Amino acid sequence: MPRQLLDGKLLFSFENRSSISLRRIEEYIHFYNDERLQLKFLKMTPSEFRRQLAA
């Protein structure tokens, strides 16, 4: 087993990159659903369009 794995350095850096990646994915999902305007939704965000359909 490589020394880095035994020291936990490689594992820590993987977990750090993983959490950063997860945060960036969550930010993009928020942007995609709540901030991005769509012409096919009459220039509303997908969330606004869903709320209007539910009303």
Domain ranges of the chain: 3-54
The residue assigned the tokens 């359909």 is 53
Higher pLDDT: 55 or 3? It is: 55
Could you report the per-residue pLDDT of 8-50, keeping only the tens digit for each? Answer: 555 556 667 788 888 889 999 999 999 999 999 989 999 999 9
Given this model, what pLDDT does residue 4 score? 47
How many C-beta neighbours within 10 Å does residue 17 have?
Answer: 10
pLDDT band at 1 (very low <50, low <70, confident <90, very high): very low
The whole model's pTM is what?
A: 0.62
